[in-house]
């Protein structure tokens, strides 16, 4: 994860040739103190990136975290304090806050799902439905919320989905081809019907993904797997329904919404004279 390069590109997008408003209104020698303030209960993530933003704008800007990655914060809590030149603080404020709001939002939503399945063996996982170029940060935020990241990219593991099956001809054929091509890789196989489970396991599947199964169907599917491989479920699972899938016996529950639909956390950045 190349945070400096990501920060450089974000600042280039936002600042361009310079911050006209700040240059016009704030004296160059003015010092200031800023605070990231939680306006809601949340799980903390992203302060490291925010610190990198301020350093990139002005090396004299220092962010001191008041909360750790993955920590819970109540509304009104200070997440971190920034001190240094006021001009740089104002110029970096929006980009830093965008990262913090986004990543705290992902971590907070993840924690809600994790809490919803507490006491079961199910682990909450993310998917590849991430914001382009922010995947590593969003997956780190999922971990901050107590989730378990799925594969980071197509080169990290094999996940045979419905389109692969159609092009290969069958679940069994797709699985055998994957096993033959990459003998040491984990091969997870998505099934859409109960009768595909035995075919996938017999061909060498190391994990079964139940896609868009009702929770009652998960119980039947897990009885057919008989503990031979882990079972993951996915597809339209929400906070009100996730507990039923966990109690059905799933080992992993993949939630695309953790990254594609997490609302930004309500965090403000307030600046005063030092």
Q: Which of 190, 232, 243, 251 is catalytic?
A: 190
Annotated catalytic residue 179: no
| 3-state class (DSSP) for residue 56 | helix
Active-site residue, selected from the candidate residues 8, 33, 72, 94: 94
Active site residue: 112, 128, 129, 176, which one?
A: 129
Those residues whose C-beta lies under 8 Å from the C-beta of residue 274, and which sit 6 or more positions away, are 31, 32, 33, 83
Catalytic pick from 72, 128, 161, 177? 161
Active site residue 211: yes
DSSP per residue, 91-160: HHHHHHHHHHHHHHHHHHHHHHHHHHTTTSS-EEE--S---TT-HHHHHHHHHHTT-B---SSTTT-EEE
CB neighbour class for 19 (10 Å; exposed up to 12, middle 13-18, buried from 19):
buried
Task: Return d(Cα 122, Cα 56) in angstroms, integer.
Answer: 41
Task: Verify whether residue 161 is a known catalytic residue.
Answer: yes
156 tagged catalytic: no
The residue assigned the tokens 């993949």 is: 254
**Helix H or strand E encompassing 25:** helix 20-25
**Which position among 192, 199, 211, 266 bears the catalytic label?**
211
Strands, sheet with 78-85, edge to edge from the N-terminal-most edge strand: 62-65, 78-85, 31-38, 267-273
Active site residues: 94, 129, 161, 190, 211
């Amino acid at each position: 994860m190349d945070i400096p390069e990501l920060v450089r590109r974000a600042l280039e997008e936002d600042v361009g040739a310079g911050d006209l408003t700040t240059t016009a209104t704030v004296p160059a020698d003015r010092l200031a103190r800023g605070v990231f303030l939680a306006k809601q209960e949340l799980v903390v993530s992203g302060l490291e990136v925010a610190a990198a933003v301020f350093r990139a704008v002005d090396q004299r800007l220092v962010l001191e975290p008041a909360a750790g990655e993955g920590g819970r914060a109540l509304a009104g809590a200070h997440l971190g304090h920034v001190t240094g030149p006021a001009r740089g603080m104002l110029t970096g404020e929006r980009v830093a806050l965008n990262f913090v709001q986004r990543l705290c939002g992902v971590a907070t939503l993840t924690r809600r799902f994790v809490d919803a399945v507490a006491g079961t063996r199910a682990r909450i996982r993310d998917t590849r439905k991430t914001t382009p170029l922010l995947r590593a940060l969003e997956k780190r935020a999922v971990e901050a919320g107590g989730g378990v990241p799925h594969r980071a990219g197509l080169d990290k593991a094999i996940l045979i989905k419905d389109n692969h099956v159609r092009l290969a001809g069958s679940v069994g054929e797709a699985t055998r081809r994957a096993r033959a091509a990459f003998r040491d890789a984990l091969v997870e196989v998505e099934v859409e019907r109960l009768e595909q489970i035995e075919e996938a396991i017999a061909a060498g599947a190391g994990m079964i993904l139940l896609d868009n199964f009702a929770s009652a169907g998960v119980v039947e599917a897990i009885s057919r797997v008989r503990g031979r491989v882990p079972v993951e479920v996915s597809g339209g699972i929400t906070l009100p329904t996730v507990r039923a899938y966990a109690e059905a016996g799933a080992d992993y529950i993949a939630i695309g919404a953790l990254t594609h639909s997490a609302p930004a956390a309500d965090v403000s950045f307030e600046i005063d004279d030092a």
